[in-house]
Structures are given as C-alpha cells and as structure tokens.
Structure 1
Amino acid sequence: MKLPNDLWYPVLESREVRRRPLGVERLGQQLVFWRDSAGFVHGHPDRCPHLGASLRGGKVDGDSLVCPFHGFEFNQEGYCVHIPAHGRSGKIPGGMAIQTFPLKEAHGFIWLWLGSQRNVYPEVPFFPVLESGWQYGSISAEWPVHYTRAIENQLDVAHLPFVHRSTIGAGGRTFVDGPYVETDDRSIRVWVSNCHDPGRLSHSQQDLKEASSGKDPGLHFIFPGIWLLNISQRLKNLVAFVPINERRTLYYVRTYHQIHPRWLARPFEWMMGLSNRFILGQDRRVVVSQRPMDSGEADHDRLIGADRAISQFRRIHQDLLATGVDVGDAGQLTEKGTSHRAIDPRSDLDKEEGVRPLSMLPPKSL
C-alpha cells in the first residue's frame, strides 16, 4: 500500500485514547497508542521487540507502556527501562526499544506524521473557518473500500439526485453547472451549482469563477484526507478519511454547529448523527461496488466535466505518490531506525482553539 509522504494523517479521535493501551490498524500497520501521566499521547508499532508479542494487551504504569508477555517496560521515547527478569539493577540489551511516531493532538484528532524525520514539523492542516466558536457531534463508520474511492465519492457533485434522491438529492437537480474548482498542491475547493436541466451548456470556468467571487466553496478538501461541506454559515459537516489498509477506510464524520445552550445541542447532534449515518449508507451501497478498488489504477474510467474535482484529486494525489512511501511493515511510517516523541499532544488543545465536542455518538460500523 502506497501513501503520500511527509503529511499529517488523522488516525484517531482524541476521546478514543485513554490511559489503557489502544491497539488499532492504521495506514497498513498494527499500532498501539496510550497516554502517559501528563496526558501526552504516544504511538508505536504494536509489537514488543523481545519476542514479538502485541502490546495492546498490556498496561500503562506511570509513564511506561508495559508488555503483557514478560513485563518489559518502555518509556515515552520508546526505550526499554526495565526488564523484570533482570531486576531493577540489571543491564538492558542494546536495541531493546520500540519506534515512537511523531504525533500531534489538535482539533479533537490524533495526527500521525507519515514521513521523514524533521527538527521542526509543519502545522496540522485544518479549516480556518472552524478555528473558534464551534461545537461538534461525531460518528464513525468503517467501509470495505480503498481510501481514494471514499474521498472521490465526497467530491462527486453529480451523484446526489440518483444515490440520494430520497434525501439530500431530492428535487431532480441533475444538471451540473461546472463545477468551478480551485486547487493548490495540498487542497481542492469546489463551488457547486446544480439545477434542473436548463437546456444549455454549462457556464465556462471563467464565468463560474466570477460568480463564485466572495463566496465560500461548497466543498473543501485538504490532503491527505479531511473534507468540509459548507451547509450554511452556522452549520458544517467534516469527514476525516483514515486509511486502515488497502481494502478498508475509516470515516470520522462530524457536524459542526453553533447551537446553545448544551441541552439543545445534544439532541441536535444526535439527530444529525442519525441523518449522516443514513446518507452515508446510501453512498456505501455504490462505493463498495466500484472496481478497481484503488482509483489510481482505474485507467479505464472516463471522467466527464462534472467530475472536475475528482480529476483534480487524482492529479494531485498522483503527484504526491511520486514521492510517497510503501507501508505495511513495522518501521516504515518514518525513516527506518528513527524514533520520535509525540509533539505537543496535550488534551487541552481543543479548548485553546475554541472547539468543544459534545455528546458524541459511539463509533459504529454501518
């Protein structure tokens, strides 16, 4: 499985990582995450270097991750600090350590750096419009699809009246005027204008550009995998696409809003969670049928004008893959042999950024 390199990947929601070790598959590898006594998050390959046992069944003791097999203790840097069979005064063999990935905790997500070691890492990419004054409710869903198909489905502006004809696509607005698309090397912005067939051709990109001037894009995607739907000035949907492996993708779906007080916000989030889950289910029935699974291998796809955002995604994604990394074996998420500590992964970052989660629904696969 090949992934774009030197990028921050959202891999978990902050609320999922507690003191007890959490084992998950992400980016084609089995990983384990845990919090130390100060609340910092740490992540490693889920394999003890002693005899290869999984670490997810262990425990956290103070600021150490303890292997369930022989009690080896590993500190926040990944170094073994105690081997019970050798005693507290015993010598620890050289190389008895686990790789520690660069992590950041921001916007309610745990982000993992996939790429080469740096003295200074870039900021986590996010949407400026959500920087302050927002609350959110969240659901999650795991699909048996490649992450490229998952992302392209949310950039597809022509499928709504067919896949979602009973929900958000009701009304028969099949004609796609454009869409107008702007890109840079890390993001795609889409201005959507769908209507009933007017009996004419779509406006030119220049005309659509002028018409979109001063307006927020309807869709905004930031590589490697976060997407924003601007429903209104006070309501947004966000999706974080997390590659589990080459055949499975995890969706974190959030509804951001500015509803107060809290007793009103909670039932609203619950209802939006149900709605998002139902609408995603409509998408799922189609996306799981697409072949090949990886759209990067879809040489026989014939894109049309309405697919402009999808074609731009494929172009940028292929450019990023040119310097990408093959993942799947432990130690391949960063340069081989390197070890990095979590970067400022404090659980209070959301409060500093003005984003507060409320009454989030538990993860559940569709």
Structure 2
Amino acid sequence: MWLAVASSKEVSARPVGVVRLGKEIVFWRDTTGKLNAVKDLCVHRKARLSAGEVVNGRIQCPFHGFEYDGTGRVKLIPALGRNHQVEERFAIEAYTVTEKAGMIWLWVGENNLQGEPRFFDDIDENFAYAEFKELWRVPYPRAVENQLDVMHLPFIHKTTIGRGNRTLVNGPVVKWIDENEFFFYVFNEIDNGQKVKKPEELNIDLSRVYLEFIFPNTWQNHITNSIRVVAFFVPVDESKTMIYLRFYVRATKIKWLDKLIATTGMPFNKKVLHQDKRVVETQEHDIRRDMLVQGDLPITEFRKRFFKEKNFAEFFYGRSSVTKER
C-alpha cells in the first residue's frame, strides 16, 4: 500500500533524514528534481547520509565521500579514484516513493507495486492550503481514531467545534466506498431523554457536513465544497505519530487570497488539534484493550481494515495483533 510519509516541500536539494515505520530514511532530489529515498546509513562505516550533501545528483556520505545514486548503489569511492569500478556489494536499501497532492508517499509491503496513491478526488489544484505538522507521542492507530471519534466533541472541544452540549450520539452512519475508503456522518444532539437512534434508523442528507477516511492514513473534514481540513497520520515508530494538518480553501478562487485565508484560519485548526493532543497522549497505547460502544462505529470499521493488514498491524502490536480485539 501507499503511505503518506512527508510533505513534498520538506525535501529540496539538501538531504532530509526521517524515521517512518521505524525505518531510518534519507530523501533528496537529484539535478532533475526527481525524489530519491534510501536507507540513512552508509554501507562503509555506518555514518548518517542525511548529514552529508547532494553532489551532482547523488547523495554523498559526510565521512569519506562515498556517493550513492537513487537505487542505493555506491557509484564513487573517492579514495579508490574516479575510474575505479565499484563492486555491486557496496549498496544499501532503496525505497519506492512517489509524490501526489504535495505529499511524499512510500510503498509499504512485500507485494508488487500497484496503482498510485489515493487522495480526495474533489480537492484539486484550485484549492490553496496552509500546512502545519507536529509529533504526537501515541501510536498511529490512536492518532487516526481520534479523528474518527464523534463522541468526544462536546467534551474535548466544548469551547470550539463541540459547542452546544450535543452529547447524545445517534448512529453514526458509516458508508464504505470501497475496501479502503469510507464516509461517515455525525448526528449528535442535545440529550433530552430521547432514545438513541441506530444507524439504519437515520436518513443521510448527502449535502450535510461529512468526514472521509482513506486507508491507511488520509482523512478529511468536508466542511463545505470550498473549505476542508485534511490530516495525514504518519507512523514514525511503534509509539509516535507525525501529524500533517492542512486547511484547504477555495473561497474566492483567487489563489493568493485563498492562501491568505487558509493561513489566517490555521491557528484555529491548531487550537482544535491541541485540544485533542492533550487527552489522546494520555491514552494507553494498545487499542485492543478498549471497550467500544455504538457511537464508536467509525472506529470499529477502521479497526476491521487495520487488523486485516496483518503485517502493518504486527508492526504496532506484534503477532498477537491478529487476534480479535475486545
């Protein structure tokens, strides 16, 4: 599967070292602007390539000048001379990456490369956006599930998007588009003693605000046709997640003005995110120990898909992760 791992604007001519899914990776661009990604460790004396520089499109180790191309092969060992034919064993792991929607995507898994990354079809180049990122000290599943949680709004966000004390949760309704993408709709209301409605008892108004998730790590809040909040939940390791938050605007259709509106509106989105972070970072990391209720339906649906991807789930919870969670 394709996994969004970084913002394209973070990588220019200089090497950039990151940790993603526990892998130490270095990104750089060659002379044509093409993105490359290899293991961030020189085969020679194990120095970090990300501490080096890009020379003629290759990444150069800062220790002894070994130069690597995008396939991970050492193409030059300066001490042996430019005419020396470097043996094939001087190589490191290279990663398959691509770019879409201003993000860098990493191919994860042992299967052959399939298709291209998926993003939201209704967000195009006519939108402008502001972007923010921060590290959360929680596993990727916890970070994702926070944005699928419709029950927490009147508590965590009671001063922002959860105003109104709508604590009673009807449904919610989850609508799968295919095996990797679903919409979900919120029907929260003030509790006046009425009975909670089940999802099948609710009529979906397709014009209402909805939320959307594309497995494994892309989410959007479809506020209006012209205003969206998008998040990418990037697994750093078993216990940390980097969140990339974007505020998309297409209000005036004047790109620079929409960019200004997005930038001006970003502090509010950050405030909402930080309200979440304060509580989510207190959660126990193992999601299998939770006891879910009807209002957690989007989370339940996510977990079905998450645990189906066995190798992915095992990274966070070991081989026992394929057992049924409580």
User: How does the TM-score come out when normalised to structure 2?
Assistant: 0.91
Map of 1:1-366 to 2, 5 A cutoff?
7-116=1-110, 118=112, 120-183=113-176, 184-208=178-202, 211-212=203-204, 214-215=206-207, 218-260=210-252, 261-291=254-284, 293-295=285-287, 298-299=288-289, 301-321=290-310, 326=315
CA distance in 1, matches of 2:121, 2:153: 27
CA distance in 2, matches of 1:68, 1:76: 17
Which letter does structure 2 place at the counterpart of 1:154? Q
Which letter does structure 2 place at the counterpart of 1:320? E
CA distance in 2, matches of 1:326, 1:285: 25
C-alpha root-mean-square deviation of aligned residues, in Å?
A: 1.8
Query: Deviation per CA, 1:23-73, whole angstroms, max 9, x where unpaired?
Result: 111111211000001110001110011111110111111121111111111
Query: Deviation per CA, 1:269-321, whole angstroms, max 9, x where unpaired?
Result: 22221111111111111101111x131xx33x211111111111112111112
Query: Deviation per CA, 1:131-154, whole angstroms, max 9, x where unpaired?
Result: 352221111111111111111110
Which letter does structure 2 place at the counterpart of 1:294? D
Which letter does structure 1 place at the counterpart of 2:160? T
State the shift of 1:100 in Å. 1.4
Q: Which has the higher contact order (CA 8 A, sep 6+)?
A: 1
State the shift of 1:206 in Å. 2.4
Which letter does structure 2 place at the counterpart of 1:146? P
State the shift of 1:324 in Å. 5.7
Contact persistence 1:186–1:222 (CA under 8 A): yes
Change beyond 3 A, Cα 1:199–1:325: closer
Change beyond 3 A, Cα 1:145–1:238: same
State the shift of 1:197 in Å. 1.6
CA distance in 2, matches of 1:273, 1:214: 27
CA distance in 2, matches of 1:94, 1:21: 23
Identical-pair percentage? 37
CA distance in 1, matches of 2:204, 2:18: 42
Which letter does structure 2 place at the counterpart of 1:303? L
Moved >6 Å (runs of 4+): none
Change beyond 3 A, Cα 1:257–1:82: same
User: How does the TM-score come out when normalised to structure 1?
Assistant: 0.81
CA distance in 2, matches of 1:56, 1:18: 13
CA distance in 2, matches of 1:197, 1:232: 27
Give the stretch that moved more between structures: 212-221 or 268-277.
212-221
CA distance in 2, matches of 1:49, 1:31: 14
CA distance in 2, matches of 1:72, 1:289: 44
CA distance in 2, matches of 1:21, 1:308: 42
CA distance in 1, matches of 2:93, 2:105: 16
CA distance in 1, matches of 2:86, 2:57: 18
CA distance in 2, matches of 1:322, 1:106: 25
